[in-house]
Structure 1
Amino acid sequence: MDQQSPALSPKQKLRALFFSTLYISAFTFGGGFVIVTFMKRKFVDQLHWITEAEMLDMAALAQSSPGAIAVNAAILVGWRVAGLPGMVVAVVGTIIPPMVILSIISFFYAAFATNPYVALVLKGMQAGVAAVILDVVCGLGGAVVKTKSAVYIALMAAAFVANFFFDVNVILIILVAAAFGVVRALFQQRKAAKK
């Protein structure tokens, strides 16, 4: 079945959106940035429902908004793909797996907490998560580099240096970068209006 968006009816698109977010959420461990990577692969690379630039913007918005990155990203992707029904479907698909898994874990918490095999599995998963997060950094950072904008590249490098070397809080970095983006956009609008 061709999963390109023009070939799908609205109902089929909602169904595909639900099962895509359900699958991504069920088999992704390591937090929001990992889910963003898989959302990019599914909705940008495979289904072509959104562009890479839109996914980059959505990842930034999901990170800077309150709440879980995975749910924030699902809200944005769902809204972009199918409006309000898409947003609801994407969020439900995203939250079902963690709710089920956490319910099971909380029921058997004592057994999980002391089991050395579970501890080893979690250690192994940490290594995999680190690799996936590195993939996100390379993919999304590469998209910024492809813009060939010295300003954006310098801002990205400055944000990295501020956090990695000077331990500046990520929230402060996001707020400064957002303020910079607003000022730059207003400056460009004024410049265009004067022409």
Structure 2
Amino acid sequence: LMKKKFVDELHWITEEEMLDMTALAESAPGAIAVNAAILVGWQVEGLLGMITAVVGTILPPMVILSIISYFYNVFAANVYVALVLKGMQAGVAAVILDVVCSMGGKVIASHSAVSLFLMVAAFAANYIFGVNVVLIILAAALFGVVRAALARKRTV
């Protein structure tokens, strides 16, 4: 969603910056949406942008969860609420699939053999071999740090 808004519609950041921010947001501890909001907010408008982005990301779900927790017994017993939540699961899956296709397509289009290999290896590690996603993210982050350090060393 952030990519469509900030890259495609508003053109505040580039596709490459969004990919970098997504990688950082996924590898940093905490909620990915909040981490991404911090990075995008900072990139676009500095400290004020970062604070605004975090509040805008945290406040809506916090209000919704507060209301749900207050009325939990009523919500838990309501068949319509259960059906809405099931529908939301499908919606979330569709959004995730859209992001995977969009960003995966960019990796494929970049013709970077290393990036393509990492994408396929990460998928295989999790889907085929059952490796924990956290370990995959940590390994990819470590690889990225080493790769950047080596690239920096070559230019110095």
- How far the C-alpha of 1:129 sits from its partner, in A, is 1.3
Q: 1:122 aligns with which of 76, 80, 85?
A: 85
* 1:95 aligned residue: 58
C-alpha RMSD of the superposition: 1.2
- How far the C-alpha of 1:165 sits from its partner, in A, is 0.7
Q: Which moved more, 1:94-103 or 1:158-167?
A: 94-103
Letter in 1 for 2:115: Y
Question: 1:100-179 maps to which residues of 2 (within 5 A)?
Answer: 100-179=63-142
For 1:63 and 1:184, locate their aligned partners in 2 and report how far apart those are by CA, in whole Å: 18
Query: Cα deviations across residues 147-174 of structure 1 (Å, max 9, x unaligned)?
Result: 1111110011000000011110111111
- How far the C-alpha of 1:187 sits from its partner, in A, is 2.4
Letter in 2 for 1:111: V
Could you tell me the TM-score, scaled by structure 1's length?
Answer: 0.76
Query: Cα deviations across residues 112-163 of structure 1 (Å, max 9, x unaligned)?
Result: 0111111111111111211111101001111211211111100110000000
For 2:30 and 2:143, locate their aligned partners in 1 and report how far apart those are by CA, in whole Å: 23
Question: 1:1-195 maps to which residues of 2 (within 5 A)?
Answer: 38-193=1-156
Gapped regions of structure 1 (runs ≥ 5): 1-37
CA contact (8 A) 2:27 2:141 kept: no
For 1:189 and 1:100, locate their aligned partners in 2 and report how far apart those are by CA, in whole Å: 45
Secondary structure of the 1:67 match is: coil
- How far the C-alpha of 1:97 sits from its partner, in A, is 0.7
Aligned residues: 156
CA contact (8 A) 2:25 2:35 kept: yes
Could you tell me the TM-score, scaled by structure 2's length?
Answer: 0.95
Q: Which moved more, 1:137-146 or 1:153-162?
A: 137-146
Letter in 2 for 1:72: N
For 2:40 and 2:149, locate their aligned partners in 1 and report how far apart those are by CA, in whole Å: 26
Identity percentage of aligned residues = 72
Q: Which has the higher contact order (CA 8 A, sep 6+)?
A: 1
